[in-house]
Amino acid sequence: MGQLDNRVAIVTGGASGIGAACAETLAREGARVVATDIDDAGGRDLVARIRAAGGEALFLHQDVTDEARWPEIIAETEAKYGRLDIMVANAGIGVSARTIVDMTMADWRRQTAINIDGVFLSVKHCIPAMRRAGNGGSIVMISSVAGLRGSPTLAGYSATKGAVRLFAKSIAMECAGAGDGIRVNSVHPGIIDTPIWGKIPVNAQATGRNAPPDPHELARTGAPLGRAGTPYDIANGVLFLASDASSYMTGAELVIDGGITAGTVARRI
Ligand SMILES: NC(=O)c1ccc[n+]([C@@H]2O[C@H](COP(=O)([O-])OP(=O)(O)OC[C@H]3O[C@@H](n4cnc5c(N)ncnc54)[C@H](O)[C@@H]3O)[C@@H](O)[C@H]2O)c1
């Protein structure tokens, strides 16, 4: 028996990093998983890995900011697997700038389109499907420690993750008020070893850096546990929020950050 037998999940940004780990972990626990992404090759590899491990998954191409695509994603999920129980709104990007004065309007719009509009559309379109399935549901939004405290050079990113944090609480209250059994929570990863770091544009003039940030180097000094997290550290938390083990949690923040937001270690012994 898996923790998610008979459940159906959508994971956005499922082709890489945290999203891929979430898709694998939910499938391992019995969920049938629809992973969506703009990265078709990564999505196909993910589905092959899940099937090789005995799980069930489907990949669908999707840009989360494209509103017209959302009803198709929901319809294809219901046609293939019959229902929707779990939404992991994970797709996101980080756009850095040396200071906010250096950030272009185009970069701000790209940052907010994927990290906020994409989450809004995920939630707007999954709730009616969860209500049709009639067995409650779990919406998990991937925010960040950058949604809990300021992040210089990633101010736009931080703004989007702070928005997601309170968006989750607001939708949690709407669903609780509707009595539909849908729980809504946010997850706040710290420094996690995924490809996202290498995708942060290297524009020395704008960012003051000559190379992408190295998560291991950042975590050695920045995370009290002294190491970067793995995508599975986050996926395990998402599994908990997706499963009945968290049935009394809604509107909550699950922080998985190696201690970053707890304080600073004075000296490593
Ligand atoms: N890695 C970290 O340290 C860290 C820390 C805190 C929060 N997060 C958050 O976790 C989430 C996943 O990040 P990750 O580290 O796994 O990054 P990643 O780059 O490995 O994966 C992100 C995935 O999202 C996809 N994506 C990007 N734009 C998209 C779009 N418009 N539509 C659909 N898919 C799109 C990418 O193709 C990629 O597969 C993000 O929301 C990120 O902000 C990551």
Beta-carbon contacts of residue 153 (< 8 Å; ≥ 6 apart): 96, 97, 98, 99, 207, 208
Q: Is the pLDDT of residue 115 over 70?
A: yes
What does the pLDDT read at residue 130? Answer: 98
What does the pLDDT read at residue 171? Answer: 99
Indicate if ligand 1 lies below 6 Å from the C-beta of 16: yes
CA distance 28 to 51: 10
142: nearest Cα among 184, 174, 200: 184
Q: Is the pLDDT of residue 205 over 60?
A: no
Give the strand order in the sheet containing 56-61. 56-61, 32-37, 8-12, 86-89, 137-142, 182-189, 253-256
Helix (H, G, I), strand (E, B) or coil at 185: strand
Mean pLDDT over 103-126 rounds to 98
Burial code of 25-56, b = ≥16 C-beta within 10 A, e = fewer?
bbbbbebbbbbbbbbeebbeebbeebeeeebe
Indicate if ligand 1 lies below 6 Å from the C-beta of 37: yes
Percent of the chain with pLDDT over 70: 96
Q: Is the pLDDT of residue 203 over 80?
A: no
Indicate if ligand 1 lies below 6 Å from the C-beta of 58: no
232: nearest Cα among 18, 3, 27, 88: 18
**Which helix (H) or strand (E) element contains residue 21?**
helix 17-28
Helix (H, G, I), strand (E, B) or coil at 190: coil
What does the pLDDT read at residue 265? Answer: 85
Percent of the chain with pLDDT over 90: 92
Q: Whose CA is nearest to atom 19 of ligand 1?
A: 196
Counting from 1 in the atom list of ligand 1, the atom nearest the Cα of 229 is 3
Longest dimension (CA), the chain: 56
Q: Is residue 181 part of a domain?
A: yes
For residue 144, report the distance from its CA to the centre of ligand 1, in Å: 11
What does the pLDDT read at residue 184? Answer: 99
Q: Is residue 194 part of a domain?
A: yes
What does the pLDDT read at residue 209? Answer: 66
Q: What is the pLDDT of residues 54-102, one digit of tens each?
A: 999 999 999 999 999 999 999 999 999 999 999 999 999 999 999 999 9
Counting from 1 in the atom list of ligand 1, the atom nearest the Cα of 161 is 43
What does the pLDDT read at residue 106? Answer: 98
Mean pLDDT over 217-240 rounds to 97
Helix (H, G, I), strand (E, B) or coil at 258: coil
Q: Is residue 128 part of a domain?
A: yes
CA distance 138 to 150: 28
Q: Is residue 267 part of a domain?
A: no
Mean pLDDT over 145-153 rounds to 96
For residue 166, report the distance from its CA to the centre of ligand 1, in Å: 19
Beta-carbon count within 10 A of 162 CB: 18
Q: Is residue 265 part of a domain?
A: no
CATH code of 220's domain = 3.40.50.720
For residue 92, report the distance from its CA to the centre of ligand 1, in Å: 4
Where does the pLDDT of residue 202 fall: very low under 50, low under 70, confident under 90, or very high at 90 and above? low
**Dihedrals phi, psi of 228, to nearest 5 degrees:** -75, 150
Beta-carbon contacts of residue 120 (< 8 Å; ≥ 6 apart): 167
Q: Is residue 1 part of a domain?
A: no
Domain ranges, residue 54 = 8-256
Q: Is residue 220 part of a domain?
A: yes
Indicate if ligand 1 lies below 6 Å from the C-beta of 62: yes
CA angle 253, 256, 261 (to 5 degrees): 80
Counting from 1 in the atom list of ligand 1, the atom nearest the Cα of 195 is 20
Q: What is the pLDDT of residues 162-177, one digit of tens each?
A: 999 999 999 999 999 9
Indicate if ligand 1 lies below 6 Å from the C-beta of 195: yes
Known active-site residue 248: no
Number of domains in the chain: 1
Where does the pLDDT of residue 212 fall: very low under 50, low under 70, confident under 90, or very high at 90 and above? confident
Per-chain mean pLDDT for the chain = 96
Indicate if ligand 1 lies below 6 Å from the C-beta of 17: yes
Structure tokens that stand for 104 in this block: 């272009």
To the nearest 10°, the Cα dihedral for 114, 117, 119, 124? -150
Q: Is residue 262 part of a domain?
A: no
